[in-house]
Amino acid sequence: MPQYTPPVRDTRFILERVIGLGSHSNLPGFANASPDIVNAVLEEGGKFVAEILFPLNQSGDQQGCTRHDDGSVTTPEGFKAAYAQFVESGWGTLAGPEEFGGQGMPHVVATAFEEYLISANMAFAMYPGLTQGATAALLAKGSDEQKAKYVPNMIAGKWGGTMNLTEPQCGTDLGLIKTKAEPQTDGSYSITGTKIFISSGEHDLTENIIHLVLAKTPGAPDSSKGISLFVVPKFLVKDDGSLGERNAVSCGSIEHKMGIHANSTCVMNYDGATGWLVGEEMKGLAAMFIMMNAARLGVGLQGLGVGETAYQNAVQYAHDRRQGRALTGPKDPEEKADTLFVHPDVRRMLMEAKALTEGLRALCLWGALQVDLSHKAESEEERQLADDLIGLLTPVIKGYGTDKGYDIATNAQQVYGGHGYIAEWGMEQYVRDARIAMIYEGTNGVQAMDLVGRKLARNGGRAVQAFFKLVTDEVAAAKEDEKLADYAAALEKALGQLQAATMWFMANGMQNPNNVGAGAHSYMHLMGIVATGLMWLRMAKAAHTALAEGEGDKAFYEAKLVTARYFADRIMPDAGALRRKIESGSDSIMALDPEMFVAA
């Protein structure tokens, strides 16, 4: 049956030796993140999710959530008790600001834990995950009164939070929103409309749920410029902080989904519910994007998190299952067959997963550190650089990370052969769960357009130039090191493809923006290869350093070097193909009359 062990050894390697958490101990909050404390978070947090949440992952998928006739929703057996333990242990408070009851730890440390949480139980992780997104929006845009009223209980996990954007007629195109907000004489608004696909919209885990809702005030423009953000609590909150009357917001139904069955995905009906404006009127989209950017990094982490669990189980199955013989002759002649590990094609799938999960782990943690640095670094230059880099790479981490997470889960299932298709083995759930991450918080096609349509050009291309410089500098330094020169040359080649594709966009995008749109998805993957490739350069360098220092764990570091080579051998070659696809432009994509697509 499925198993999961938090990859603490690898996380520590990345935090300590790859992104150098220790070198930032002078920054606010980072003093709370000494190696001992971080290690305790990883060990204890990992133990908690593995022992308490992972055992509920498969049963949660099988049971799903249940909506009752009165509109209430119950989560699967064991979720409520596990959530209470989660709250009591404070695992949701790691990165919350201390003034609202959080532990004030760096975002990068919370991200390391968050990966484990997702790996153990993605559907469970979405309950606190949505709360954190809603909290971030309130902290950024809410009034002091709103912050004081809602945020402490949300950080503590006593209350949940949700994001209400989508409606039946609008997903990506939020300008089409129909939900109305009518101002009332007491300064509140009456909210009326239907929201769909609301993750964690209604459940039995918390005593209150704080909904953040996009709606339009009377006379607002009929576009995304007319959207405002409102806070709509399930139970109104009295001035003394106690719960008042039930608000007119309710769950109309829960969706039947491909996966993440244990998270309640709700249709939410707002029937003149009482809400309050968050931030300025008609500036709702900007406020929502604060949530979205954090959420997109969190979704990228889901690709890694689910991929990691799927990968670990595939490795275990390859140890346990004996089938056929090595091409080079029997490996275990005393047994009736060799283990799956002797077969190169099984190895290919496992090495691909290893190269991608470890590479994405480094990229996600590096990205989380940029979030910290964008707020806390000492100089304006450093803060701006970090903000530029994470702004550029957020769609890459989301889009490339989740596309690859799905591939990893699919390959891990493939290692199991026929057993992978059978529910009780647990592997098909990872594929079904991983699938949603490519869709929500903006489909991966939307991420790709965000990257090429907004992030590339912003501030005259400052961010992408900074990224190119970062990679170029590290490649140049590594080429001087004989041990890293081969790998550095491979990364330099991939970077060259990315730079050429960027130039091609500049030369061909003005005359026809579809040339950029047609290459967007390939470009996102190309940048994903280069960014993950940079992480592998750093990991290889750190491994060589540790080996030279005679640091104990020799086999671990040598495995890093083999895996870096796999990345160069088997993943980087796609860079050239992606560039060629991009440079073919939009002609063959846009030429066909829509009526001619189906040749029936």
Q: Pick the binder of a copy of itself from 72, 172, 184, 459 (CB under 8 A).
A: 172
Contact between 432 and a copy of itself per CB under 8 A: yes
Q: What angle do CA 394, 395, 397 make, to 5 degrees?
A: 65
**Contact predicate 128/92, CB 8 Å:** yes
Contact between 496 and a copy of itself per CB under 8 A: no
- Helices 380-415 & 284-320, crossing angle to 10 degrees? 40
Q: Pick the binder of a copy of itself from 191, 438, 495, 542 (CB under 8 A).
A: 438
Q: Pick the binder of a copy of itself from 303, 521, 535, 544 (CB under 8 A).
A: 521
Determine the Cα–Cα distance for residues 177 and 59; give it in Å rounded to an integer: 37
Residue 143 or 586: the one with the smaller Cβ distance to a copy of itself is: 586
**Contact predicate 340/411, CB 8 Å:** no
Environment class of 185 (CB within 10 Å of its CB; exposed 0-12, middle 13-18, buried 19+): exposed
441, 474, 480, 583: which is the annotated catalytic residue?
441
Phi-psi region at 162: left, alpha or beta (left = phi > 0; alpha = psi -120 to 50):
beta
Residue 378 or 424: the one with the smaller Cβ distance to a copy of itself is: 424
Q: How far is the CB of 346 from a copy of itself (least distance, A)?
A: 7
Which of the residues 440 through 469 are near a copy of itself (CB under 8 A)?
Answer: 440, 443-445, 448-449, 453
Residue of 297, 594, 593, 242 lying closest to 441 (CA atoms): 297
Determine the Cα–Cα distance for residues 202 and 190; give it in Å rounded to an integer: 20
Q: How far is the CB of 365 from a copy of itself (least distance, A)?
A: 14
Q: Which stretch binds a copy of itself (CB under 8 A): 144-152, 282-290, 296-304, 410-418?
A: 410-418
Determine the Cα–Cα distance for residues 120 and 117; give it in Å rounded to an integer: 5
Q: What angle do CA 412, 413, 417 make, to 5 degrees?
A: 115
Which of the residues 311 through 350 are near a copy of itself (CB under 8 A)?
Answer: 311-312, 315, 318-319, 322-324, 327-328, 336-337, 339, 341, 343-350
Q: Which stretch binds a copy of itself (CB under 8 A): 152-160, 243-251, 473-481, 511-519?
A: 511-519
Burial 321-351 (b: 16+ CB within 10 A, else e): beeebeeeeeeeeeeeebbbbbbeebbebbb
Q: How far is the CB of 348 from a copy of itself (least distance, A)?
A: 6
Q: Pick the binder of a copy of itself from 37, 170, 470, 500 (CB under 8 A).
A: 170
Contact between 166 and a copy of itself per CB under 8 A: yes
Whether residue 428 lies in the annotated active site: no
Which of the residues 546 through 565 are near a copy of itself (CB under 8 A)?
Answer: 555-556, 558-559, 562-563, 565
Q: Pick the binder of a copy of itself from 63, 414, 465, 499 (CB under 8 A).
A: 414
Determine the Cα–Cα distance for residues 262 and 83; give it in Å rounded to an integer: 13
Q: How far is the CB of 445 from a copy of itself (least distance, A)?
A: 4
Residues with catalytic roles: 441
